[in-house]
Amino acid sequence: MEEQSRPVKDISIKNGDDIQSIFEQLSTSGGFESRNLAEGLEILSTMINDKDCLKFLSFVAAITSTGLRGIIADMLKKKMFDVVITTCGALDHDIARYFSNYLEGSFTLDDSKLLEKNIHRLGNVLVPMESYGPIIEEKMQMFLEAAYKSGKKEMSTADITRMIGENLGEGSFLYWAYKNNIPVIVPGIVDGAVGSQIWMFTQKHSDFKLNVVADSEILSSLIFKAKKSGSLMLGGGISKHHTLWWNQYRDGLDYAVYITTAQEFDGSLSGALVREAISWGKVTQSAKQTTIHAEITTILPFLYSALLSKIK
């Protein structure tokens, strides 16, 4: 048993209570994920208020197909983070939703019938074919052609995402990253529609090169001079791992909050708790860290709302 354990306190919510007071009660409620959620708020607010901290945001693509894209964009608009690491699908959805619309659907829809109607299903989000592939193809070829004609024959993924953001507007998370000079790095950029369009572009312009190693120069220039580093990791996979991987070069993250639905029993990277990364030197032994087991689109709006009242 932990020394000086506190008694479990009942939660009492009254009409008019603000979200901050509710989070304070979660911190003394004893269990189960409520304490991790309250702890995550404290870690994130401390991290964002720490002027010496290099702040990473990593996230999986699927959440940007939902309304949570608005929170991602808002966090970057407010400059809460210094670096973004994500997957190609996030770029796909950001372009597609800026120029078109996705639709509300259901997990129980008949996928064969959706195929006949040229509608893709992403969980309970519907992606009409005309809102996705053709738009991304048209826009990416246009963006790349303009960049090529301006003399850009080699680009990193950070260059690609900056180029896209420059051509979008306020609803886009890539726009706010571009506007605030926040690099967005996509280590697996060829795994998605945007990546396929880059490949297609090279078929017409064989002298155009995608230089993913150049992203390492960006990350190393930031990591090696950072006094501290921290990260909010939304979901697992390559975006989470790339964030952890680069932070091992400065002896690990000093702040780390991970939100996931994955389980650790299968040994997967996505299921691994933040504390496992300590053994690899990707999170410091003294780090303020927690793993929140929750579905991101459900939890993040409340966490973000409480965070806004705590940041300076």
Catalytic positions are 282
Q: Which tokens belong to 226?
A: 């950072």
Listed residue (102, 79, 104) closest to 92, CA to CA = 102
Q: What is the DSSP letter of 7?
A: P
Neighbours of 199 (CB within 10 A): 10
Contact 145, 153 (CB under 8 A): no
Q: How far apart are CA 197 and CA 307, in angstroms?
A: 38
Q: Report in angstroms the alpha-carbon separations of 283 from 83, 185, 219, 273, 275.
A: 17, 20, 17, 11, 7
Q: How far apart are CA 289 and CA 147, in angstroms?
A: 41
* Phi, psi of 85, deg, nearest 5: -125, 125
Beta strand pairing status for 103-104 and 125-128? antiparallel
Instruction: Give the Cα-Cα-Cα angle 286, 222, 58 (nearest 5 degrees).
Output: 70
Start-to-end C-alpha separation, the chain: 36
HSE-CB at 230 with a 13 A cutoff on CA atoms is 27
Helix (H) / strand (E) element for 154: namely strand 154-155
Contact 233, 87 (CB under 8 A): no
